[in-house]
Every structure is written in C-alpha cells, then in structure tokens.
Structure 1
C-alpha cells in the first residue's frame, strides 16, 4: 500500500494517462540496481527515488572528488572524500524517506555481478568504463534482466533500454552486443581526459530514468523501448533515435568476460604500480599516493622516487583519474628518467 506521503509526492505523475495508481504500485514494488553514483547515476537516482521506486541497491567503490561536483548533483563540497554510495543513498532517502536503499561501497566484479543483477527487476548502468559496461550488459543478458544503459562524453551521449537473454519472451531479445559486439580496442577516451559538459549527463540520465519508469511501471508503449537508442548532441541541440534489432549471427552470452590481467611488465616485476585511489590499499601496489594528497609536484616526485623503477603504471579504481594524472605529470616523470603509463580499465577490473 502507498502511504499518504507517497501518494501526495507522486500525485502529479499519477494524473498522467496510462499511469494512475496501478503504475505507481508497480514502481513501489520494484527493485532497481544502480551501478555507479557518478554523472549518470546521481541524477538518475535522484529522479527515480522521487518517482517512487520502492527498493534500490546502489554500488560504487569511489569517493567524492571536487572535480565531480559540476555534474554529480547529489554531492556538495562538504562531501569531498566521503564514499559516493553512502552519500548518494542518504540524499535519496531525504527525497523519499520510505525508500529502501542499500549502499554498497564496493567494486562490481565478475564474482558479484550475476547475483546483484539476478535480484533486480532492472539494472541502471551509470558506470564510466567499457570494462564495467560490458560486464554489466553480459550479466544482464545471462540473467535476462532489463538494462537501462547510457554513456556520455564531451558534448553528447547515448541512452538505450536493452533486454536480452533466454528468458525473454522471444527467447533472445536485444542487447548491447547486438549494436556494439565488443568494446573498442586500445585505451578509449574518458571524461577525465576528454571532458564532459555537466548538463549533458543530466539529459542522458533523464532518458535512462524515463526508460526505467516506463518499463517498470508498464506505461503505454513500454515494450517499444527495447532496442531504441537515442543519441543527444548538446550544441546546437539535437536528438536522433534508431532501433536496434537482434543480430541473428550472434550467440547469446554464455560466460562473463574474464577480469583484465596486469600488463606483462608488472607481472614480471619490471615496472612499479602507483595507486592513487582515494582509499588506497591495493595489495600489489608498489607505492600508494591517496588522491587527496596529490597537492603539488613535490608530493608526486617523492612518490615516483619511492617506486624505484624506470617504468611506473598509475592506477585508480576506474582508470580515468589515473589517465589524467599521467597526462599531467608525464613531463615531470620524464625529467626523473621515469616513463608513466596508465593502467587501462583501472583497479576495478581486477579481482584481488
């Protein structure tokens, strides 16, 4: 049963044709998994909590950084250094006190993703690396869980609703790999190095949240959402939509992709690993330099000197912040006779 407060809070959307109390009850009974409390996860979580989703599991291993604040709308300056999952969950509870939300301050890995996806009625993927996006998409296909998917970069982005797997009505459905069979080769651009317009993340997150509400609430035309990909360009402002069909030549996913292994130089001991995570503690790191302590060049020089290697891989949970670090300090390192390289995919793509 919906409480008086929830009925009052959702009164405007319940007036919509095809919505009413029935759709609101379905949203109240739904369990949503949100992967990532970043530029996409924050605005989507804000909208979905306010709309009356009854139960949410939120997973993110990162902490709030001051560079997040221009687009990650659930955080303020006072939250810098705090776990994103916990802060975002607290903000969501303020919007909807009856919301049952579980904050997991942890990495999503191949050993946990299947159970998390299987327990959810829909997964919203707000992650920011291709490794995680394909891990989530494959897990959703293996468990036949609907997936609200989005990606942003610079002045644009894309959003889609995927539903694939053997338990779909047609025994197959349509999934991410029907459009993009494999992640791009090499090191892809990320927001930390290529930039992103903060308002664009809210637009894409809004599309993802709308698809989530349509699917879970069984709103009019919700079945038509599956396989529709909307592309958005912020300036001068345009939307394009295409409908993706299943690729008959592509077999359904049968196993999860393996976790990325370390580069051979690290495995062979011919390189050092500098961990710049906010919450350091990666057991194989040669030197840990918590992100909040990267305040000046001298701090970086001391950390690099402690690595005692001419080749240093820099790592963080996602691989984004470390990519920016490498760009910023490559010349400083070169003056010390050290080559800096980013660990692509980040520590989140390695089990330990």
Structure 2
C-alpha cells in the first residue's frame, strides 16, 4: 500500500478532497498515478476526458491526433482557446494537462492511428480511451484492444445524445470478455451516419459523455465500484435520461487475433501534397462549371471548396422541384454538386438530374465531397 511519502506535499493538497472519499485512499491514488492511459483523439470527447484524467491524478497520458485547432472546435474541445487556432491539438493539450497536474507525463503524438502503429500503441497502455469520431478508427482501436487484451473505454456523441461502454476481451481479459464486435459485428459505411459537422453537437453533451467515460476509467484503474465489461450507458440530454444496457459475448464470434485490412477511409494516409486535383474542382477553378452546395447553412461556416468562388446553395433538406428551378434559374452548362462526404450530392443527382437536363444543365457529382479533397 502507498504511504504518505509516496506523493509530494503539493500533490496531496491538490487531491485532498478526493482522498476524503469513502473507499478511496492513497492506495487507489497510487494506482492512478502508476497508470498509463492512451487517449485517441483530442476532440470533443478527448479534451474533457484528458482534463479530468489529469485532474484526478493519472500519471501518464498519451494522446494521438494529427489535427490542428480550428475556431469551430472550441465550443466543445475545452482545452483550446481562440489564441490556439492553427496549433497542433496534441501540443496545446499537453501544455494544459501539465498545468493541471505538474507531475504528469504527457506523450503527444501528432499523427493518425493506423494499422501500422495501432497494436504497438495500444499494448503499451494500461487502458485506452477512444474519443475518435469515425467508424474506421473506432473499429481499428477496438480490434487492437482485443488483439492485445487491453481494456477500452468507448464513447460516441452526436447532437444531444451519446453512449459509453467498457469493452475488454482478448488475452488476459476476464472470461468471457466482451468487445465492440459483440454488439456491432461489422464496420458500417463511413457515410451511414452524419458526423458532428453535418448533424451538429451540443458542446456540453460531449463533456457529460466524456465525464462518464472518465468515471469508468477511474473505477477500472483504481479498483473501486463496479467496472463491468459490456455495460453500455446511453445518455439523452434533452430528456435527462441515462439508460444502461448489458452486452453479452457472442458465442459464435471468433475473437480478433490480428488487425484487418479494411479500416477505411480514416486510417489511410492523408493525400500527398502533389496529389492530382479532381477534374470537377479544375472545372470550377477555371470557371467552366458552377458550384452547387447541398449542405446545410451552418456547414458553410466551417469549411468550403478551396480556391473556388462561392457558388449556388440549395440544402438537400430544402430541395424541391420548385426550389431547384428558382435557385438554378437562367443557368445552363455544367454544375458541380457537392456536400461533406458525397452522400447527399449523390442523392441530389438522383432526384434532379432529369429536371436539370430539361433546362440544359448537366449535373455532375464531386465524389467524396469536401472530406475527400
């Protein structure tokens, strides 16, 4: 058991209210101080979770993220401020965590989680906290955790709701062990669910869900309370409802023993700087085509086509034959239709291609949308 001399006096003062908790003492605090947590993503879930992990006294946090801070991040990614725009997220986050807990070790990795580094990163941690926001990364992390037998705190959030679970399966996990694929066996298509940029997210919801994730992490690491693999919590902000579900091991599923090769598109490398410009974008830049944005209004404030004069705007949610004629009145020639991922633009073409042709307009799609550029 840890004794009073295990911690500096300043640290004991910092965590004094925590040590006053029933069933929580220096032994539990030492377990947190000795723990290494790998955090995937310095975003809406990762930021508040890391803040809480550092504040509670976790001794080593590794965070991996290749992005930089954008103004649109700050309403939910609470480690960042306006002055941090353009800086690497992991760099800013590491500085904030060291201010919260001066004795902490922070390993900041400005890179993506890939099939080449996932297993090595995961097996080096006592616990993984997944705050990523794509199916590809979540399945990659979950499989790496099962391959290595590493406990995984999993969370998702969108609009006004979120889910949290502890998955733990594979070598060394308690029998029978429960993993993500016991609930969701197959990775869904990337565009089957809208992302936060498309559907929106209430910033405080990410903090609530991250708080639930951190609570599960602390329980597991410190050995307090009930830490049950396969217990999933669903949180609904507008109704203030928290519902638990139990996920059991699928007896017909073979555990993952190696990573797959189908974690796309989020785990592939970013486009090379000299990658060819899509021909649709060339048409827009030369003025040979007109751009038609079918995203929602709020999405335009976050990002738009690079190097292209703003064109027409008709959100798919507001489209109708009458609105089509109104927005594209007196137009002819080629119109490039785009959205965030290419899903809505495909739907738009399917609905309005024939109407466009009757007006001497050729609609063409921008495959992959803005996310594919």
**TM-score computed with the length of structure 2 as normaliser:** 0.75
Would the alpha carbon gap of residues 343 and 337 (structure 1) be closer, same or farther in structure 2, given more than 3 Å must change? closer
| CA distance in structure 2 between the aligned counterparts of 1:103 and 1:298, rounded to whole angstroms | 30
Would the alpha carbon gap of residues 215 and 130 (structure 1) be closer, same or farther in structure 2, given more than 3 Å must change? same
SS of the aligned residue for 2:168 comes to strand
Q: Does structure 1 residue 213 correspond to structure 2 residue 239?
A: no
**Partner of residue 235 from structure 2, selected from 220, 224, 232:** 232
Is the CA contact 1:65–1:80 (under 8 Å) kept in the aligned structure 2? yes
Instruction: Identify the residue that residue 111 of structure 1 maps to in structure 2.
Output: 116
Would the alpha carbon gap of residues 101 and 297 (structure 1) be closer, same or farther in structure 2, given more than 3 Å must change? closer
Would the alpha carbon gap of residues 336 and 56 (structure 1) be closer, same or farther in structure 2, given more than 3 Å must change? farther
Instruction: Identify the residue that residue 55 of structure 1 maps to in structure 2.
Output: 60
Give the alignment of 1:31-110 within 5 angstroms. 31-110=36-115
Give the alignment of 1:55-204 within 5 angstroms. 55-170=60-175, 172-185=176-189, 187=191, 188-204=193-209
Structure 1 residue runs of 5 or longer lacking an equivalent are 263-274, 289-293, 303-308, 315-321, 348-352
Is the CA contact 1:163–1:175 (under 8 Å) kept in the aligned structure 2? yes
Give the length in aligned residue pairs. 311
**Partner of residue 29 from structure 1, selected from 30, 34, 51:** 34
Runs of 4+ in structure 1 displaced over 3 angstroms?
259-262, 280-285, 294-298, 309-314, 322-327, 334-338, 343-347
Q: Does structure 1 residue 300 correspond to structure 2 residue 315?
A: no
Is the CA contact 1:326–1:340 (under 8 Å) kept in the aligned structure 2? no
Instruction: Identify the residue that residue 244 of structure 1 maps to in structure 2.
Output: 247
Q: Does structure 1 residue 286 correspond to structure 2 residue 277?
A: yes
Instruction: Identify the residue that residue 10 of structure 2 maps to in structure 1.
Output: 5
| CA distance in structure 1 between the aligned counterparts of 2:45 and 2:233, rounded to whole angstroms | 15
- CA deviation digits over 1:252-310, x for unaligned, max 9? 01221214568xxxxxxxxxxxx9x8xx745535379xxxxx988783249xxxxxx99
Would the alpha carbon gap of residues 325 and 86 (structure 1) be closer, same or farther in structure 2, given more than 3 Å must change? farther
| CA distance in structure 2 between the aligned counterparts of 1:20 and 1:122, rounded to whole angstroms | 21
Would the alpha carbon gap of residues 261 and 217 (structure 1) be closer, same or farther in structure 2, given more than 3 Å must change? closer
Is the CA contact 1:312–1:341 (under 8 Å) kept in the aligned structure 2? no
* Higher gyration radius (CA): 2
Structure 2 residue runs of 5 or longer lacking an equivalent are 1-5, 282-301, 311-333, 350-355
Deviation at 1:66, TM superposition (A): 0.9
Would the alpha carbon gap of residues 297 and 219 (structure 1) be closer, same or farther in structure 2, given more than 3 Å must change? closer
- CA deviation digits over 1:141-186, x for unaligned, max 9? 000000010000111000011111032132x411111111112236
| CA distance in structure 2 between the aligned counterparts of 1:210 and 1:236, rounded to whole angstroms | 21
**TM-score computed with the length of structure 1 as normaliser:** 0.79
SS of the aligned residue for 2:164 comes to strand
